[in-house]
């Protein structure tokens, strides 16, 4: 399992990336349309296994002085390799009851599963849970993950987990539309494509900024090769435009970036490459 936590500052905002665990995916799951030889070369250049991809689940804790905010909750007890978020918080001196705001970038199981315990009760009982209204509407009224190139069992599990968690959180949910300031210096940005209501976050404090991309890109290769699709993206063309837009903004405004599934500690910079892609430079 990846190292548990990594702490850093964005101006006056104290941040910590927290590992909830990880999952391992077949390479073709994350890059279903990539040309096999080009994909093999990309993995070989970085001495990575060619058959499976280790995908960390990395949540973001923000302490602003007035607010304690958790961005995504991890997968919870859905496998033996996840469910560590409360232990990670405790190491940071934060109890579940201390969290006053949970931001859900979207309602996939690895982002919302840790919000509800095995008894079906909210884990962060004192927190409002902020989610985009498009995401809430999609999963509660019209969810159809059939656009995912995944087995029906996976699609059914996505629907089941989203339904279970959102029902349990219904009295704590706050839905938002468009750009929205969830706390001073913490803004939510529409970033659709991965799911219809997927959101990113922009932190600003003094001269420091951080752009949290959520799942707009789930592997550095999705930035290096923007045309390589992610099998978990529901709206593939929209997702491509979103990740390109976020990468361009990060470069233009010289903003550090975090991505939920990038190699832990999941923070770094994006640098333009010849052509249309961006290189991922890890580190804070």
Q: Is residue 271 part of a domain?
A: no
Q: How far apart are CA 108 and CA 55, in angstroms?
A: 14
Q: Is residue 238 part of a domain?
A: no
- Over residues 129-177, the pLDDT tens digits come to 999 999 999 999 877 766 677 788 888 899 999 999 999 999 999 999 9
Q: Is residue 214 part of a domain?
A: no
Q: Which residue has the higher pLDDT, 282 or 143?
A: 282
**DSSP-derived secondary structure for 68-95:** EEEE-----TTSTT---HHHHHHHTT--
pLDDT at 78 over 70: no
pLDDT more than 90, % of the chain = 87
Which residues 6+ apart lie within 8 Å of 16 measured at CB?
Answer: 5, 6, 7, 8, 60, 61, 92
* Closest alpha carbon to 66 in 102, 104, 98, 105: 98
Q: Is residue 254 part of a domain?
A: no
What CATH number is associated with residue 189? Answer: 3.60.15.10
Q: Is residue 224 part of a domain?
A: no
Q: Is residue 255 part of a domain?
A: no
By CB neighbour count within 10 A (0-12 exposed, 13-18 middle, 19+ buried), where does 178 fall? exposed
Q: Is residue 211 part of a domain?
A: no
Q: How far apart are CA 71 and CA 103, in angstroms?
A: 5
pLDDT level of residue 81 (50, 70, 90 thresholds) = confident
Q: How many domains does the chain have?
A: 1
Q: Is residue 90 part of a domain?
A: yes
By CB neighbour count within 10 A (0-12 exposed, 13-18 middle, 19+ buried), where does 138 fall? buried
- Over residues 211-247, the pLDDT tens digits come to 999 999 999 999 999 999 999 999 999 999 999 999 9
The number of CA neighbours under 13 Å toward the Cβ of 32 is 10
- Chain-wide mean pLDDT for the chain? 94
Its domain, for residue 58, covers: 5-202
């Amino acid at each position: 399992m990846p190292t548990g936590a990594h702490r850093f500052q964005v101006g006056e905002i104290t941040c910590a990336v927290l590992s909830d665990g990880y999952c391992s995916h077949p390479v073709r799951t994350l890059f279903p349309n990539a040309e096999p030889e080009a994909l093999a070369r990309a993995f070989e250049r970085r001495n990575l296994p060619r058959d499976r991809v280790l995908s960390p689940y990395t949540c973001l804790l923000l302490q602003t002085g007035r607010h304690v905010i958790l961005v995504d909750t991890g997968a919870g007890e859905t496998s033996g390799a996840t469910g560590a978020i409360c232990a990670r918080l405790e190491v940071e001196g934060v109890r579940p009851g201390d969290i006053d705001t949970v931001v859900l970038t979207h309602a996939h199981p690895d982002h919302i599963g840790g919000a509800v315990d095995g008894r079906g009760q909210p884990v962060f009982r004192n927190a409002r849970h902020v989610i985009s209204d498009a995401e809430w509407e999609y999963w509660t009224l019209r969810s159809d993950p059939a656009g995912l190139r995944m087995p029906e069992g996976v699609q059914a599990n996505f629907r089941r987990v989203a339904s279970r968690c959102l029902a349990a959180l219904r009295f704590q949910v706050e839905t938002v539309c468009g750009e929205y300031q969830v706390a001073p210096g913490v803004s939510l940005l529409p970033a659709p494509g991965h799911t219809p209501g997927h959101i990113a976050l922009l932190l600003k404090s003094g001269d420091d900024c951080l752009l949290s991309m959520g799942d707009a890109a789930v592997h550095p290769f999705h930035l290096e090769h923007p045309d390589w699709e992610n099998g978990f993206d529901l709206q593939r063309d929209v997702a491509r435009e979103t990740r390109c837009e976020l990468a361009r903004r990060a470069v233009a405004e010289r903003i550090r970036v975090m991505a939920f599934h990038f190699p832990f500690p999941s923070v770094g910079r994006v640098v333009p490459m010849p052509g249309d892609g961006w290189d991922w430079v890890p580190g804070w």
